[in-house]
Structure formats: structure tokens, C-alpha cells
Amino acid sequence: MDRTLPKGDISMNCRKCGAEVKDGGPLCRDCEIEEALEKSRQVTADPAPFVVSPQILEKLTAFRKVRQYTCRACGYNGLMGVVRRKFYLLKIITIIFDILAAIVLSVFQQYIWASLFLLVLVFEVFSSRMKLHCPNCDKEFIAK
């Protein structure tokens, strides 16, 4: 009497309901579906609603953009107003100088130096940091 199962046919019992499982998994098909649905319900369950006090909400309405951040001054963790990035006069002059230098150097076929000035230009434009306004302590700081 041969007690071995044909190749690829591994029979076991479901650990949840005891039904026969042919693919060798720990659960039958019905129990797997039920467990997956249960897990998805747990993940999509609505956590405690995010509550913003009316005073903070009133202060945040003055800003076009808000961001989630932690204030380093008062420890408030929540939405903060994004203050517009300001380009200072010195930065604007440097950007114009970089553009003109890149153009002049490319005319004289100094492409390596021209690309270096363009690289500095890109760094100057994208290195400006965002300023945030904390609605809790009314202080502004630069986001890191």
C-alpha cells in the first residue's frame, strides 16, 4: 500500500476550521479570504479624528499653504502656515551674475566653466529654505 501522495498534491487541514487544504497552506481558501477582509477592516478603520482647535484654525486661514511640522520653539506638532520664500536682493544679483557669466563663457567656448556657473545657479535657486509660521506660539522659523 503506497501512502505517498502524488507530486504536487499536499493535503493538510486548515488551522482555523479544520477543512482539508490541498495546496499545503495553513488556511483554507474561505478562511484566507475572511482573514484578509478582517485585516483590511482593521487597516481602514478610521482612527481618532485629527482635531484642530478653532484658534489655530483661524490663524491658519491666513496662509495659502499649510504643512505638518513640529515647532522647535513650543513643541506644537501639527499644521503650520508656509510663509512664502523670499529672494533677497543679494541672491537675485548673484543669480543674474551666474546667468550672464554662463552666457559669456559659452560664447568663448569655455563650456566647463559655463556649466560650473549653471550648477551654482541651480544650487542657489533650490537652496532657499521654506519658512514656517507656528500658529501656537506665533513664531517663524526655517524648516530643516
Residue 61 to residues 65, 132, 139: CA-CA distances in angstroms? 9, 14, 16
Question: Residue range 115-132: average pLDDT?
Answer: 78
pLDDT at 88 over 80: no
Region 35-49: mean pLDDT is 60
Mean pLDDT over 119-139 rounds to: 81
Q: Is the pLDDT of residue 27 over 50?
A: yes
Place of cell 478603520: 45
Domain boundaries, the chain: 12-44, 54-142
Which pTM was predicted? Answer: 0.43
pLDDT at 1: 44
Residue 134 scores a pLDDT above 70: yes
Burial class (CB in 10 A: 0-12, 13-18, 19+), 141: middle
pLDDT at 81 > cutoff 70 = yes
Digit-coded pLDDT (tens) for 50-75: 567 888 888 888 888 888 888 888 88
